Structure 1
Amino acid sequence: MGGWCELPGDLVRTIEEKLDLYQDKVKCSCVCRSWRLALPKMPHQKQHLLPWLLVPLKTKTEIGSGTSFGFFDPLDKKLHCLGLSDPHKDMLFRGSSHGWVVNLDKNNSICLINPLTAAQVELPPRTKFPDVANYRPNKPGREYGLRGETGPRFFTLSKDHIRKHFIQKVIVSSSPQSDEDFVAVAIYGQFSELAYCKRGDKKWSFLDRGHWSDVIFHQGQLYAVGSDGCVMIYDIHSSHSKKTEFVPKLRERVASRFYLVKSSVGLIMVYRRIKTLQQIGVSDPDSYPIYMYKTKGFRIFKLDTTRGEWHEIQSIGDDMLFLGWNSSISLSCKNFSQHTGNCVYFTDDNITYHYEGIIGGFDIGIFNFTDGSIQHLPCCTTNDSELSIWPPPVWLMPNLIN
């Protein structure tokens, strides 16, 4: 008897026709390449599909020791093997959008991967960012020479440190396989600046200076929110990347992480409240302190278009938000009978705490605006005393078409 991948195409199509649920049809196409080629192209019905959580199949005892991954489907609440392997045995996710996840290779490469089709698209490497003055691979531990915020002064850092802490997020404007003119945007560097590249570019182009917290593509333009709540709009498809101030900073002073989300009520800004729980290693003055942290909750700000100001709201109604390394997602619970709205599904993206020796990768859960409660995702049940999930999981919207 032959293996599953050797089934005749007409038999594979008969199996697929017996499946009623869209997510089951997606999983059928994920069995192997021959099945995917034998099955008809499927419409990308986002309204009937929740984002999947791309996770390491096991919690690891050492950062970067994971070699395979799976996805958690919130609809059936099960963890499925994905078959995504890492030839470098050290994957690190720093973004997802349009069904593609961004992986930072330990050898400076930045790659877009479609986990379901195994397609890959290379972006310019980390050595081609605007903050890099020089790259010296023959200087272990000091490979990168980086420019300071102003002036010619520069400093050196290791490529491992740059990889883990100097790219906060990368998103794309559209699927790189369906759009020849896709644009990738990165929040990078010591001061969270913006850079972008287009298909065929050999390097990243500088876009703007400032402490940026999140970026999304909305109505054909790039929206960026700063650490003070200020929102700017960039027309990066034009030759001069025109910039416009959309909303000034918040009147009240808050300092944490912001997200921009396209929701049913329009563009909203989400503020994530983080609490440091404890500090380990302080008894030894020579040891590096280790912080434990946890998300306390979220606050939602809606734009008052008449005044051009943010105003806090207490509910997002039927919406479910998915936040983290991914390009932020909002879906209505009306299409999913077993799910309730007015909540945030979040993953650990607090890069400030992800330094060597500092525990991270466990701040994952579901926040409910109705009662302020936070619960674990079934696939991520680690507690504060256990080892972290590394690399931290990332939400992505499955996409078999592109």
Structure 2
Amino acid sequence: MAAAACWDELPDDILRCIQGRLPCPIDAVYMGACCKSWHKAVPKPAARLMVLPWLLMPLAGGPSFGCILSGGACHNLDLLPEDARGARFFGSYEGKWLFAALRGGGRERHTLLNLCTGERIPLPDFEYGLVFWAVRGLPSPTLVRGPPRPVVMLAATLSSPPTVDGACVAAAILNMPRTNRWPFVCFWRLGSPVAVEGEDINTAPGTAAQDLAYLDGRFFVLTKGEHLRAYTALDEPDPLRGGDLRVVCDFYITGRDRQLQAGEPRAGYLVPSRGELLMVVKEWRRADGAAAAVQLFVLTPVAHDNPEKTRAWTRVESLDGRLLVVGPGCSRAYERTGCDEGVYFLDDRTYYHRNSFDAYFTLRSDPGEFVFADNGRCSLPPAHPEHCFPVKPDEEGCSSSYSPPVWLLP
């Protein structure tokens, strides 16, 4: 007991040595709060307390944040407003912005929420799609602007930091409830109540939208067949779809096959890094859909007469000192600092159907249960995944009634 009473009398150099072994600035804050002598002796941590993404884990008692720098340990920080604690989260952006579907009144309200400032930017809950109509005097059938329809956002990203002055363009992968349509992509100026559907829409399973990222002025959309669509937003109205935004599309045949089998056990994520576009492929175990391995590819130019065949995915054998975090719409690359290189993944099995591995939200907006236990880290082959976050597969409490896990970007 006498020894325990002397903890607040540890020499300052010992305390600073202990603090130097804490990789996460948040842990250093907790250390300085233990007692007055420690607070006085321990240097204040850097102003930027969050240097790598946190994993928002949708626990039953409210979200908690898994920390990569702390080896996956959770920070139980009360960062979310009350009405967002039970939201469905579907992406994030730098500066602690979260894409959230707030529940209330029997429907979801899509919102971009900042956890630092509390600022909120409403997102479209409807989109103006294209429908086939037989119009007198025009070839039949003819694509014309259709009526507004409710949508469910599955993943989203932005062209720049969020503003509502018309400069920031948003893109999202959507599904429409009560239809059998495959996931598709829409675009809008941030702050606009209406999103418009992109061009070059194909409803075949192999060309369904799987992930999206923004790089060098274009939104890249990865299909289930691992082909690419590259969308450019133009500052001009679209005569067919309306609004003040027109989007044009280039298609690149980059996948292994235009029509992959529906049960192909892998998911792809687009990651901008060092001016290049990477694709991380996460392979699943067929038994339960859990992560089995990851592979890395880079988009490279190819000499070909067909413009659609001028890009290809090339296998990369090394992460070259990078730390990658992957998730639908919010994958990022970081130069390794304070921890080993590797690919950090989250459990998006609810995003993919466990049997067919196609997008889950085909008929409804809320599956009622989101699994979130298959989160961890994996190096490139022959390495196997490590489940470094608190909730592990096959444990109780590894599903959520309100949201899948999502990365919170610093």
Which AA in structure 2 matches 1:244? D
What aligned pairs does 1:159-178 form with structure 2 within 5 A after superposition?
Answer: 166-177=152-163
Please report how far the alpha carbon of residue 112 of structure 1 lies from its aligned counterpart in structure 2 after TM superposition.
0.6
2:297 aligned with 1:301, yes or no? yes
In the alignment, the residues of structure 2 paired with residue 313 and residue 346 of structure 1 have an alpha-carbon distance, to the nearest angstrom, of 18
Range moving further from structure 2, 347-356 or 245-254: 245-254
In the alignment, the residues of structure 2 paired with residue 132 and residue 247 of structure 1 have an alpha-carbon distance, to the nearest angstrom, of 25
Equivalent pair of 2:66/2:74 in contact (CA under 8 Å): yes
Please report how far the alpha carbon of residue 330 of structure 1 lies from its aligned counterpart in structure 2 after TM superposition.
0.7
In the alignment, the residues of structure 2 paired with residue 132 and residue 89 of structure 1 have an alpha-carbon distance, to the nearest angstrom, of 35
1:87 counterpart SS class: helix
Equivalent pair of 1:172/1:184 in contact (CA under 8 Å): yes
Q: How many residues align?
A: 313
2:249 aligned with 1:227, yes or no? no
Pairing partner for 2:212 from 208, 211, 215: 215
Please report how far the alpha carbon of residue 92 of structure 1 lies from its aligned counterpart in structure 2 after TM superposition.
0.5
What aligned pairs does 1:175-186 form with structure 2 within 5 A after superposition?
Answer: 175-177=161-163, 180-186=166-172
Partner residue, 1:280: none
In the alignment, the residues of structure 2 paired with residue 88 and residue 393 of structure 1 have an alpha-carbon distance, to the nearest angstrom, of 14
Partner residue, 1:397: 409
In structure 2, do the counterparts of structure 1 residues 92 and 243 end up closer, same or farther at CA, with 3 Å as the change threshold?
same
Please report how far the alpha carbon of residue 345 of structure 1 lies from its aligned counterpart in structure 2 after TM superposition.
0.4
Partner residue, 2:93: 97
Which AA in structure 2 matches 1:75? L
Please report how far the alpha carbon of residue 174 of structure 1 lies from its aligned counterpart in structure 2 after TM superposition.
2.2
Which AA in structure 2 matches 1:241? V
Please report how far the alpha carbon of residue 360 of structure 1 lies from its aligned counterpart in structure 2 after TM superposition.
2.2
Give the percent of matched residue pairs that are identical in Structure 1 and Structure 2: 21
In structure 2, do the counterparts of structure 1 residues 265 and 26 end up closer, same or farther at CA, with 3 Å as the change threshold?
farther
Partner residue, 2:344: 345
Equivalent pair of 1:91/1:105 in contact (CA under 8 Å): yes
Equivalent pair of 1:322/1:329 in contact (CA under 8 Å): yes
Partner residue, 1:316: 319
In the alignment, the residues of structure 1 paired with residue 368 and residue 63 of structure 2 have an alpha-carbon distance, to the nearest angstrom, of 24
Pairing partner for 2:188 from 172, 197, 218: 197
Please report how far the alpha carbon of residue 44 of structure 1 lies from its aligned counterpart in structure 2 after TM superposition.
9.7
Equivalent pair of 1:196/1:206 in contact (CA under 8 Å): yes
Which AA in structure 2 matches 1:347? L
Q: Which runs of 5+ in 1 are unaligned?
A: 1-18, 32-42, 61-65, 134-149, 278-291
- Residues 166-214 of structure 1: per-residue CA shift (max 9 Å, x gap): 4321112222248652122111123111101113322111114241111
In the alignment, the residues of structure 2 paired with residue 382 and residue 352 of structure 1 have an alpha-carbon distance, to the nearest angstrom, of 19
Partner residue, 1:118: 118
In structure 2, do the counterparts of structure 1 residues 115 and 27 end up closer, same or farther at CA, with 3 Å as the change threshold?
farther
Please report how far the alpha carbon of residue 373 of structure 1 lies from its aligned counterpart in structure 2 after TM superposition.
1.5
Equivalent pair of 2:172/2:185 in contact (CA under 8 Å): yes
Partner residue, 2:3: none
Range moving further from structure 2, 344-353 or 71-80: 71-80
What aligned pairs does 1:129-140 form with structure 2 within 5 A after superposition?
Answer: 129-130=127-128
In structure 2, do the counterparts of structure 1 residues 302 and 199 end up closer, same or farther at CA, with 3 Å as the change threshold?
closer
Equivalent pair of 2:228/2:254 in contact (CA under 8 Å): yes
2:108 counterpart SS class: coil
Partner residue, 1:52: 54
Partner residue, 2:138: none
In the alignment, the residues of structure 2 paired with residue 264 and residue 383 of structure 1 have an alpha-carbon distance, to the nearest angstrom, of 34
Compute the TM-score of the two structures, normalised by the length of structure 1.
0.67
Partner residue, 1:109: 109
Larger-gyration structure (1/2): 2
In the alignment, the residues of structure 1 paired with residue 76 and residue 117 of structure 2 have an alpha-carbon distance, to the nearest angstrom, of 14
In the alignment, the residues of structure 1 paired with residue 28 and residue 165 of structure 2 have an alpha-carbon distance, to the nearest angstrom, of 22
Partner residue, 1:386: 396
Which AA in structure 2 matches 1:374? P
Which AA in structure 1 matches 2:294? F
Please report how far the alpha carbon of residue 108 of structure 1 lies from its aligned counterpart in structure 2 after TM superposition.
2.5
In the alignment, the residues of structure 2 paired with residue 179 and residue 346 of structure 1 have an alpha-carbon distance, to the nearest angstrom, of 34
Equivalent pair of 2:164/2:191 in contact (CA under 8 Å): no
Partner residue, 1:243: 249
2:64 counterpart SS class: strand
In structure 2, do the counterparts of structure 1 residues 275 and 25 end up closer, same or farther at CA, with 3 Å as the change threshold?
closer
Partner residue, 1:36: none
Equivalent pair of 2:198/2:248 in contact (CA under 8 Å): no
In the alignment, the residues of structure 1 paired with residue 395 and residue 143 of structure 2 have an alpha-carbon distance, to the nearest angstrom, of 44
1:197 counterpart SS class: strand
Which AA in structure 1 matches 2:317? Q
Q: Which runs of 5+ in 2 are unaligned?
A: 1-18, 34-45, 132-141, 176-180, 203-207, 237-245, 304-310, 354-359, 361-365
Which AA in structure 2 matches 1:219? D
Please report how far the alpha carbon of residue 382 of structure 1 lies from its aligned counterpart in structure 2 after TM superposition.
2.5
Q: CA RMSD in A?
A: 3.7
Equivalent pair of 1:234/1:243 in contact (CA under 8 Å): yes
In structure 2, do the counterparts of structure 1 residues 366 and 227 end up closer, same or farther at CA, with 3 Å as the change threshold?
same
Equivalent pair of 1:233/1:245 in contact (CA under 8 Å): yes
Compute the TM-score of the two structures, normalised by the length of structure 2.
0.66
